[in-house]
Structure 1
Amino acid sequence: TVEYGPRKFALTPRSHLQKLQDEIEAKLCHGVLVKIDKAQDKYPESIVTDDDLKEISGSKSFLIDRQTVRYLSLLPLRKRSVYCEKISKSIALSRFSRDMNQSIDLLTIAEQNPNLPDKRKSELRYKRESLKDSIDMTLSLHRERNEPLNRVMAQISSEGRRFQDRANARALDLDSAGASSGRVRATLFDCSDQLLCNLEKN
């Protein structure tokens, strides 16, 4: 096991990946999307902050954008839940790969320290090789179960656009029906006919 930051207990690659998944799902699915739902009339893009995206992505290099979050928020709750879990796992896998590469790099640099005794270098080499094997096994297992991040984002965008188009069509139908109703009422209750005009006022 290798420690990632100041923690009391060392994390295995598998437990580190699970921790990332839990954190991302909590922030995105139960944090950002709930915030969008509560805002209701506001545009989702104006509600999601850079800090939100940074916290989900784990760095300033965002792994998810506002538009994807917006499309995710447009989905029906059941479908949204499925896709939110999928993208959380895919983001976690991307962050995991980045974290593990950094850990391998640190061990490699430490191993190359000319001031270290040979025994210590051997220990670091063994630790690095063991970590790499564990990382490869974890990545192989989870890549079989999870789709690549860009594919999940494309699926969310496609589904989100479809539901947005439906919502827009319904809104246009309502506007059209309202305008048509207004024209009919204006025709039927023409105040040139005092009787009909009085009926409308009553």
Structure 2
Amino acid sequence: MAIEEEPDLIISDVMMPKMNGLEMTKRLKLDLKTCHIPIILLTAKASLEHKLEGLEEGADSYIMKPFNSQHLLIRVRKLLELRLKIREHYKDKLDFKSDDAPLNRIDQKFLNRLTSLVEDNESQNDLSVEELSDKLGISRVHLYRKIKKLTDMSVSEFIVSVKLKRSLELLRNSGKTVSEIAYEVGFTSPSYFAKCFKNQFKLSPSEYRQQQ
């Protein structure tokens, strides 16, 4: 169900029929499609050993029963706020390979690989979602969902963002014209490149270069 619906957050009891909360957490946190989902485990097992076991399996929070409802609501709010901060981090900095954002290992590896795929094909102006999803080994739907959850971008917006970040380096360090840079990083025209650049950075490529 979590794989199909991809909820924003999961609250689960440790003691459940068929599969306990620890096993569920482990499976979800090892699956690329669901490892970004925050998980809160509720349990009557109050020992430090049990708490450490839950955290070791990847739970984002481990709350003892009986619990205070206000405590639970605060943990939910804080975990959702953290996800929002991660998205804002990527939208502002466009640094998808950064270690600054508190992502889990699987999510960071996924973003690193996706970013590298776009960078390796940066001059290709028709890089498609299908091509990326095939190379990543996941469906188009899960690629869309994953990128949206991690960065609050569509796949197309993510591709443009990686290209724009590369253009900053070229504007700073190369003597190429803005038009040459636009085509080199895979935009269909200099005018479209300039439009995307200004939308992201609030100034034109030429203005950015003059400030360096």
TM-score by length of structure 2 reads: 0.28
Q: Which has the larger radius of gyration?
A: 1
Decide which structure has greater helix share.
1
Decide which structure has greater strand share.
2
Higher relative contact order (CA 8 A, sep 6+): 1
